[in-house]
């Protein structure tokens, strides 16, 4: 039973999250040919950090796993390190160990920061998380300026622009290497769509574009596959449930935080896609909030092709339904404000 579960998780992480062929992956990842890759998780002792550390330890593409937090990492690292998989695990605690945690990293995943409580918006986290993200990104620009950065800390619509500004000031900004992790929106859209359309969830694909907060999350159910005959009312309900997915969890947790387990899963899927891209696996595609020129906004989430240098191609939106066109028009002003807030913070503080 235990072996079957582990096999299933590992196969999900190494087979197609994207359009990559499982056969090709198997050929690319014969044990001898897997390159060395270091992944650092910043905020590794938290609600997301701990299950994410577990999932990254199960990922055979990782050879070194650095677990950093301001407290609690020795225990998490000792625990995870006993799992008999490829990567070597090390825990780092406190700012004086941040350099060691980051040096040599290929991918840095950042779930550091405070989560929401009921009644809060993601933007209410800005005052605390903006400063955390800014200082962590300053360290990244010093110690691993070439790493791919996977930003999970909220509000993603502002923390990604903050990171970009910090990297620009340090002279290390590479727009191909900075990603806002919006995979949980895709994970939710797939789950909700499969339930409504009564199709096997493993077969479902749904792009989610825009940003990562409320109406800025725009699932494109008109492009969902397998196709299903859903009514307009059903599409509206699915869209709203995807947009409010985070709040649904925050309310259910009743003051004990926000999504951690589903986020760890989503974060692991996205980090895995980044590693595959770095390793030269072709046609790795995931949605992510990146520097973009597909709309008038400087950052936007859409399908992105990942390659050896990070973003290989920011893909277009594809054909939109009238409902989606309207959603796009409505989200742009809100997303613009969040992006500008992040840029302003980074430049004033």
Ligand X SMILES: O=C(O)C[C@H](O)C(=O)O
- Enumerate binding residues for ligand X (CB under 6 A): 115-116, 122, 154, 184, 245-246, 249-250, 258-259
Q: Does 181 bind ligand NAD (CB under 6 A)?
A: yes
The runs of H, that is alpha helices, within the chain are 2-14, 22-28, 49-57, 73-81, 98-102, 126-143, 156-170, 183-197, 232-243, 245-253, 261-278, 322-348
Q: Which of 1, 34, 61, 102 has its CA nearest to residue 268?
A: 61
Helices 2-14/261-278 angle, 10° precision: 50
Question: Burial of 113 by CB count in 10 Å (0-12 exposed, 13-18 middle, 19+ buried)?
Answer: buried
For 41, phi and psi rounded to 5 degrees? -115, 120
Q: Which of the residues 31 through 90 are near ligand NAD (CB under 6 A)?
A: 42-43, 45-49, 69-71
CB atoms within 10 A of CB 227: 10
152 binds, among ligand NAD, ligand X, none (CB under 5 to 8 A by kind): ligand NAD
d(CA 303, CA 198) in angstroms, rounded, equals 25
Q: Which of the residues 82 through 141 are near ligand NAD (CB under 6 A)?
A: 111-116, 125, 129, 132, 136
Q: Does 292 bind ligand NAD (CB under 6 A)?
A: no
Q: Does 152 bind ligand NAD (CB under 6 A)?
A: yes
Catalytic residue among 38, 134, 176, 212: 212
Per the annotation, does 43 bind a ligand?
Answer: yes
Find the binder of ligand NAD among 187, 259, 268, 346 (CB under 6 A): 259
Give me the least distance between CB of 160 and ligand NAD, in Å please. Answer: 10
Let me know if 212 is a catalytic residue: yes
d(CA 35, CA 33) in angstroms, rounded, equals 6
Residues 111 and 267 sit within 8 Å (Cβ to Cβ): yes
Site for ligand NAD (CB under 6 A): how many residues? 32
Q: Which of 182, 160, 138 has its CA nearest to residue 286?
A: 182
Give me the least distance between CB of 52 and ligand X, in Å please. Answer: 14
Q: Which is nearer to ligand NAD, 48 or 61 (CB)?
A: 48
CB atoms within 10 A of CB 78: 11
Residues 242 and 208 sit within 8 Å (Cβ to Cβ): yes
114 binds, among ligand X, ligand NAD, none (CB under 5 to 8 A by kind): ligand NAD
Per the annotation, does 280 bind a ligand?
Answer: no
Looking at the annotation, which residues are catalytic? 212
Annotated binding site: 43-49, 69, 116, 122, 129, 152-154, 188, 263
User: For binding to ligand NAD (CB under 6 A), which residues are involved?
Assistant: 42-43, 45-49, 69-71, 111-116, 125, 129, 132, 136, 152-154, 156, 181, 184, 212, 257-260, 263
Annotated binding site for substrate: 116, 122, 154, 188
């Amino acid at each position: 039973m235990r072996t079957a579960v582990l096999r299933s998780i590992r196969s999900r992480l190494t087979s197609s999250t994207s359009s990559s062929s499982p056969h090709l992956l198997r050929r690319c990842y014969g044990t001898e040919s897997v390159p060395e890759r270091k992944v650092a998780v910043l905020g590794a002792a938290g609600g997301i950090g701990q299950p994410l550390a577990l999932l990254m330890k199960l990922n055979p593409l990782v050879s070194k796993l650095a677990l950093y937090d301001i407290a609690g990492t020795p225990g998490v690292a000792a625990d995870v390190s006993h799992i008999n998989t490829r990567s070597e695990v090390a825990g780092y605690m406190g700012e004086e160990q941040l350099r060691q945690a980051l040096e040599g990293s290929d991918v840095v995943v950042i779930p550091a920061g405070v989560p929401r409580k009921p009644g809060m918006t993601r933007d209410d986290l800005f005052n605390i998380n903006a400063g955390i993200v800014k200082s962590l990104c300053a360290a990244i620009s010093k110690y691993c300026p070439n790493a791919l950065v996977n930003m999970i800390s909220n509000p993603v619509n502002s923390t990604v622009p903050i990171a970009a500004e910090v990297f620009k000031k340090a002279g290390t900004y590479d727009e191909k290497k900075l990603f806002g992790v919006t995979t949980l929106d895709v994970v939710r859209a797939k789950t909700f769509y499969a339930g409504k359309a009564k199709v096997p969830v493993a077969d479902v694909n749904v792009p989610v574009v825009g940003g990562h907060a409320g109406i800025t999350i725009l699932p494109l159910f008109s492009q969902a596959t397998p196709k299903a005959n859903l009514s307009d009312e059903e599409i509206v309900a699915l869209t709203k449930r995807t947009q409010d997915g985070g709040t649904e969890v925050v309310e259910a947790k009743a003051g004990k935080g926000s999504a951690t387990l589903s986020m760890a899963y989503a974060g692991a899927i996205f980090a895995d896609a980044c590693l595959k891209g770095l390793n030269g696996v072709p046609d790795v595609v995931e949605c992510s909030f990146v520097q973009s020129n597909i709309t008038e906004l400087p950052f936007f989430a859409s399908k992105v092709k990942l390659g050896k240098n990070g973003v290989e191609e920011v893909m277009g939106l594809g054909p939109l339904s009238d409902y989606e066109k309207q959603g796009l028009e409505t989200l742009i002003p809100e997303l613009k404000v969040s992006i500008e807030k992040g840029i302003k913070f980074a430049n004033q503080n």
